[in-house]
Each structure stands twice: as C-alpha cells, then as structure tokens.
Structure 1
Amino acid sequence: MNSTVVDMDTAMIRTHGLTRHFTVKKETVEAVRGLDLQVDEGELVAVLGPNGAGKSTTLRMLTTLIPPTSGTARVAGHDVVGEQREVRRRIGYIGQGNGAAHSQRGRDELISQGRAYGMSRTAARQRADELVESLDLSGVADRTVSSLSGGQRRRLDIAMGLIHAPELLFLDEPSTGLDPQNRARLQEHIVHLRAAYGTTIVLTTHYLDEADSMAERIVVVDHGRVIADDTPARLKANHSGDHVTLGFGAEIDARAASDVARRIPGANVETLGATVHVRVVGGPQVVPGLLRGIGEQGVAVSSVEVARPTLDDVFLNLTGRSLREGGAEPAGTHESATTEQEIAA
C-alpha cells in the first residue's frame, strides 16, 4: 500500500479525461467521454442520468471491472488500471445483476464473501447475521440462492457488498426490484453505514426521491459527460424554477394576468384557456407581488398553486429530456449498454 499517495490526496475518487469506447457493429460508440469527477472522503454522491448516459460504464471503470479507453482514475488513492488489487480491497460494489452463486445458501455466501476480504470466520458470521436481520432476510438466508425471489436475491447482493464495511461503496441502481418497505430499510442502512464508519458512497438511481433525500451532492450525466454537479437544493434553484399556476373565471382574465406575469424578470409564461402557468425562480416570494399586480388590473384570481421544482425538472431544463423518459436516448446508446454488460460479465 502506498500510504504517501493516499495522504497527499484526500479525494476518494479523482478522474481526469476518463473515456470508454465500445465497438458495436463495426462502429465506435462513446459511452463515456472525457469525464472529470472528484468525490471527497465521506461524501454521499448520487449520479443521475437516463439509460445509456454512461453511469454504469463509469462505475465499472472505477471498480476495475473494465479498463478505460483513455484518461485516468484513482480510487482510494490507487490507480484503477495499475493497482487493481489495492482498489478492490477498499471498495464495495453492488451492481445491477445478481452476484451470489445460485447453488449456495445465502448466509454461507455472505460468510465466504467476508472471508475473501480477510475477515475472521467469527467476524464474518457476526456481520452476516447483522445484515440478514437489517435487510429482512432472516426467513430465507439459509435457503439456496436459486430458491429466492428476485427481490430477495437483490437484498442478498446488497448484503454481500456491505459485508466488509468498505471505506468506499458503489451502488448501481441498488433499489431496483425492492418494495417500498425494503427500499426504505436499504436507505436507512446506507445512511447508518456512512454515519457509523464514515463510508464514502456513490450511487446511481432512477428514484429521484432517493437521490434528493439521501445525497448531499448530485452529478448529472448525459451522453457520457458531466453536465451539472451541485447540491440538490442549488441544482433545483439554479437550473429550474418554481411552477406557479393561476386559475381564472374567463380566458380574457387569464390573458390580462399573463401580461402582468411577463413583467417578472426571468419568468416563463404560458396561457392555456383560463389558466396561466408561470415558471420562475423564487415562486413563493414572487406570488404576492404578482397577485397585487393582477388585482390592480381589476382581475380576480380564482385559484393559486405553487409547486417546487424536482430533479426531473432540472434534467428536463438541462437537456430537454426527462429522467423518466424511456427510449429518448440517441441511436446507439442501447447497444452500448448491452455491449458493456457483455464485456463486464
């Protein structure tokens, strides 16, 4: 272990120009394009983006599953190409597929995983028991993996990634296949892991509420590049606006109100029948003045609704696409996703 390198650089992850290309039907597909990323020790960072954006490919490079085409990446102070063994000793990785052997019992798989990381049999068994309890696997942990349901296997995979309490944990769509109760339990366990051990956590997710509530920092990726990187609050404040909806008794009143709304700096105004939609930063602070201005025109407002922006609004504003949209990726990204899964398998 090169402790000097670790001491000199406190970043848990640092990439520069990280790039990964795949060849699909004799054409080059750029899954990740010159990605620069830094994650400091102890951070919980969520990486968001639609299918094919390059999220999973990035995680596979950072976890040494596939090599970069170009660029550099250091994880826990070690190079992902030249020091793979040192990187793997320090990380946990929970991918999208099932990692447990189907012919083994779940608890035995956990203990074997712990032993592989150098834990004593007693410590591995104790840790396995803790994870079995916290992830609601008590009733099925001593069954063979092949007999478990999809959700149970998913929870077992999560336990395998957590068995050695890694200093850096990668979670690729960890909640996929989990019911709301077990999603909540997983979130609690992740938060506890970070609080108890100072674990650095990087996760990808399509559950926007999960990213918004858990992550202190969100990295938005599209077409293999980072297009935004900030706290959830600042992303929503800077890249979207509050949605103010005003209802009126007649279309003529709505048109008069829209003229008033358009005087607000930076406001985006749309009139549909007797309803006016205004998107503006600081909606709750803007509404009182807007209502006064409308009232001065002799127009009565029948309803007012203010909706705060979501992370989906942020992505829509940045790219013109929704995070939830399916099939919105450019040609070739579905193929690149399939190819990267085949290579990593």
Structure 2
Amino acid sequence: MLTIDRLQVRYGNKTALLVDRPLEIGAGDRIGVIGSNGAGKTTLLKAVLGLVPYHGRIRTKLRPEDISVHMQQNHYVGTMPVKHIISAILNTDVKTDKKLRGLIDFFEFSGCMDKKYPALSGGQKQRLTIILVLYQDAPLTFFDEVTSGLDFETRQKLMEKMRAWYAGKESAVMIVSHYYDELERLADKLLILDHGRVAAFGKTDELFRRYCGRAVVTIPANEKNRALTAHIKTVAAPAHLLAFPCADETDEAHLASLFIRENIDYRRSGTDIEILYSNVLSGGGAL
C-alpha cells in the first residue's frame, strides 16, 4: 500500500527526519507512531502527504484522494450550525445520506448537529472531525494526536468508538499519540521515532519480546523494593517503577511468589508500550 524508503526531511541545517530503511504499510495495518516532542512524528505525516519537501522515495499506488488525515488542529466557521458545516464539506445532505447518518449515530453526535462549532466541547469537536475523516472511507488514514487535550474519560470513550469502527476493516491506519494506553487499544504495530530517526518498527508483540522478554513484572520503585530486588535483573522503566523481564513462566512464578510473600503490589504485562518504548530508547534488551 505504501513504502517509505531513504526519506530525509531537512529544515535548514537540521535533519528533522531520516528513514534509512524501508517502512512498509499494508492493508489492515494499525500502526502507532510514538516519540517525544520533536522526534519527527508530524514531519513524517507531512512528508507522506507532500506538505514538506523531502529527499528519498515514498512509493504507493494510492491516489491522493485515497489518503485521509486528521491533524492536531482543526478550525471551522463558528457562525452556522454544525450540520451545515458537515453538508458543505462533504457535499451531501445530512438528512438523506444513510452512510453519514450512520457515522453520526455511531459517534453519538446527533445532539450536536444544531450547535455552532464554538459551543462544542473538546470531545465533540474531535468527534466532528473524525466523522468528516471517516466518511471518506480512505484505504489509508492518518490520525495526529486525535485526543490531545481531552480528559481521560472522554479519551477512553473516543478510543473505544474508533477501535469498534475499524474492527475487521481492511483500511490501514497510522495513529500519532503520546498516550500509550490508546496505542495498546488501537495499534498492532509500532513506529518509534527518536530525534528524527527510526528507533524501531514492527509488530508490537514481536518488539516487546525482543526488548523486554516474554513478559515484564513491575512494582513501585521505593527504597524497600529496591533493596529487596537488588539482586534481580531489571529492564528500563519510568522512574516510579522497577521492571523485571521474564523469559518464561518460571521467571514469572518466582517473581510473583516473592512479591506475594512480601505483600508488594505488582503488575504483569506482555504488551506494555511504555516499558517497551523505554527499552527501545535505552538501546538494551531483556535477553
């Protein structure tokens, strides 16, 4: 569907993005794009969309109209009801378009149709743009920080709606997000960028096994827990956690037995993207 190879974007003397090995995006892919501010996430989307000059190759059989995008900032006229904005942008009749009515109902947006854009909440504004984007049924869609600025509950509801909408569809999706929990719900592949370079790309479960092991067990990183586990191998983790790699069930059982005996709360995961991200950037591996 889309291949990105030897791609370089420069702003003056600074290399904002360098993709030095092919990135393949196929039908049905759900790719999460993560990295710190300035890592090159938005630059990558803009290059694919032809919005910034670049060197290298972006190969695709898709037409421009086969790619849709949800950018971070979206603004609409504030002097007319939202239903007229939707009709004008999509060039359709809201009342008679069954496909559009289905999207409006699916995203629980019917009660907002007579409101003006400035009167919408943050979550409602995001749902409006999502409806406009999804109506296109594009083979490839980019979402850039789709839930930025929303509260936790609104983010969760919106992500559940999007996950349900794309279930079973052959459309490919690339999702730029700072929220690891969103990517755990929506993505089965990860593209990790660091200072404009590709740090890792592949299926989430395969990357996790490579960098973290079969599973990781985490506990709070307090003084007592550090002393208790000083002899046990750790992998990179956020500062408030200690993370222990497990190569097999025996490793997990030993750790669980220790933490239960010591009355320490612990969490086991085989998909924790935050832990995976930490270990990719640290350059290490569990095994």
Both proteins in one fold, TM over 0.5: yes
Give yes or no for contact 2:3–2:24 (8 Å, CA) kept in 1.
yes
| Paired letter, 2:85 | E
Task: Find the residue that maps to 1:221 and give its secondary structure.
Answer: strand
How far does residue 134 in structure 1 lie from its aligned partner after superposition? 2.3
Say which SS state the counterpart of residue 41 (structure 1) adopts. coil
Distance in 2 between residues matched to 1:206 and 1:62, nearest whole Å: 20
SS in structure 2 of the partner of residue 243 of structure 1: strand
- Residue aligning to 1:94: 70
Match of 2:83 in 1: 107
Partner of residue 167 from structure 1, selected from 131, 136, 139: 139
Q: Which residue of the partner structure matches residue 247 of structure 2? A: 282
Shift of 1:97: 0.2
Structure 2 residue 191 is matched with structure 1 residue 219: yes
**C-alpha contact 1:31 1:223 (8 A) present in aligned 2:** yes
For residue 99 of structure 2, what is the aligned residue in structure 1? 127
Distance 2:246 2:166 in 1: 33
Q: Is the 8 A contact 1:245 1:305 kept in 2?
A: yes
Which stretch of the first structure deviates more once superposed, 143-152 or 214-223? Answer: 143-152
Query: 2:19, 2:198 within 8 Å by CA — same for their partners in 1?
Result: no
2:11 equivalent to 1:22: yes
1:133-177 CA deviation, whole Å, 9 max, x = no partner? 222322222222233233322221111111222221111111223
Q: Size of the alignment, in residue pairs?
A: 268
Q: 1:174 to 1:101 in 2, by over 3 A?
A: same
Over aligned residues, Cα RMSD in angstroms?
3.4
Deviation at 1:207, TM superposition (A): 1.5
1:127 offset after TM fit, Å? 3.2
Please state if 1:46 is matched with 2:35.
Answer: no
Quote the offset at 1:15 in angstroms: 0.8
The 8 Å contact of residues 83 and 114 in structure 2, kept in 1 or not, is answered as yes
- Secondary structure at the aligned position of 1:229 is classed as strand
Determine which structure has more spread, i.e. the larger CA radius of gyration.
1
- How many angstroms does 1:278 deviate by? 6.8
2:53 corresponds in structure 1 to 68
TM-fit CA distance, 1:201:
0.9
Does the CA-based 8 Å contact 1:104-1:144 persist in structure 2? yes
Query: Post-superposition shift, 1:217?
Result: 1.0
Offset at residue 125 of structure 1 (A): 3.6
The question of whether the paired residues in 2 share the 8 Å contact of 1:193 and 1:199 is answered with: no
TM-score of the superposed pair, with normalisation by structure 1 = 0.66
Conserved? CA contact 2:217–2:252, under 8 Å: no
CA–CA separation in structure 1 for the residues paired with 2:253 and 2:3: 46
Describe how 1:187-202 pairs up with structure 2 within 5 A: 187-195=159-167, 197-202=169-174
Name the stretch that deviates more: 103-112 or 13-22. 103-112
Q: Give unmatched runs, 5+ long, in structure 2.
A: 236-241
**Helix, strand or coil for the counterpart of 1:139?**
helix
Q: Hey, what's the Cα distance between the residues in 2 that align with 1:209 and 1:29?
A: 32
Give 1:258 deviation, angstroms: 5.0
- Does the 8 Å contact 1:54/1:223 carry over to 2? yes
Displacement of 1:112 in angstroms is 2.3
Q: What code does the residue aligned with 1:131 have?
A: L
Point out where structure 1 has 5 or more consecutive residues left out of the alignment: 1-11, 79-85, 262-266, 270-276, 295-300, 322-345
Amino acid at match of 1:231: K
Identity %: 23
Aligned partner of 1:333 in structure 2 is: none
- Deviation string 1:49-99 (CA, Å, 9 cap, x unpaired) is 1111101111112123x1332011134x14xxxxxxx31x11221010014
Cα distance in structure 1, aligned partners of 2:192 and 2:251: 28
Q: Secondary structure at the match of 1:73?
A: strand
Normalised by the length of structure 2, the TM-score is 0.78
Match of 1:231 among 199, 203, 206: 203
**Deviation readout 1:300-334 (Å, 9 max, x if unpaired):** x534555335211222222249xxxxxxxxxxxxx
Per mean C-alpha deviation after superposition, the further-off stretch among 218-227 and 282-291 is: 282-291
Deviations, residues 218-248 of structure 1 (Å, cap 9, x unaligned): 11111112211222223222212523669xx
